[in-house]
Amino acid sequence: FVPISSVQVPRCVHIQLLILFSCVYLCVYPLCVRVCNRVCVSLRPSRRFCTVLEFCEGNDLDFYLKQNKLMSEKEARSIVMQIVSALRYLNEIKPPIIHYDLKPGNILLVDGTACGEIKITDFGLSKIMDDDNYGVDGMDLTSQGAGTYWYLPPECFVVGKEPPKISNKVDVWSVGVIFFQCLYGRKPFGHNQSQQDILQENTILKATEVQFPAKPQATTEAKAFIRRCLAYRKEDRFDVHQLCSDSYLLPHMRRSTSSGTLQPSSSLATY
């Protein structure tokens, strides 16, 4: 539930746009949780919006990792490919969308396993990249402090006179963190820290280079892919469209002629 009051008009407009986006676009894309309906509930003294989502029987990726700690590279790559496919869709619709809160808890495993279909959920922090607020250098981050710190890139933690600029490269960083966690069973930065500790100790601002554990082993190509996602300077980091064409993903993905979305190849999807 999201409360609405007279002093939250800009936020209300944002919520309405997100609801419209959800109803129009998420209903037709298979890798995002479908919005079944939206209602306005009157609960005195405030009014609240509520969205009704489709039911997904399986657990989320966070639950899976807590139960199994990690997964094979083939399984992890299959999940990442589906996430990247969904991100490409979100960046090709008009206006494009930055999810901004990609994390294992927002990746639903439809059948509860690591080798099946996933769905992305929770667009509550999403950013709408319309012409009014998005330029060549990105858009202002007006909700600094929100989000899940382990999965946000360094530019989201920069404090200055002006708000930092963000782009879809925020989601690319999150993909790198999620992939690392699937392979190694731990987050690359601040794994044993609380969100407060991460903020106070500038953990992400100091995350200039990712370090890989000796075990379990991952391929050189997987590590290189993660490095591209976790490039410290956003200018050096891939954007979503570049990620879709990454050499690590392309040999294992096919284009669906019916939907135009990238999907795991049939051989990989069976693992």
| Segments making up each domain of the chain, as ranges | 1-55, 56-265
Catalytic residue among 101, 111, 130, 171: 101
- Give the whole-angstrom CA distance, residue 112 versus residue 61: 8
Please report which confidence band the pLDDT of residue 135 belongs to, taking 50, 70 and 90 as the band edges.
low
Say which CATH superfamily domain 56-265 falls into: Transferase(Phosphotransferase) domain 1 (1.10.510.10)
Q: Give tens-digit pLDDT for 242-269.
A: 999 999 998 765 543 234 444 443 333 3
| pLDDT tens string 12-22 | 555 555 555 55
| Known catalytic membership, residue 101 | yes
Answer with the residue of higher pLDDT: 68 or 95.
68
Q: How confident is the model at residue 45 (pLDDT cuts 50, 70, 90)?
A: low
With cut-offs at 50, 70 and 90, classify the pLDDT of residue 33.
Answer: low
pTM summary value: 0.81
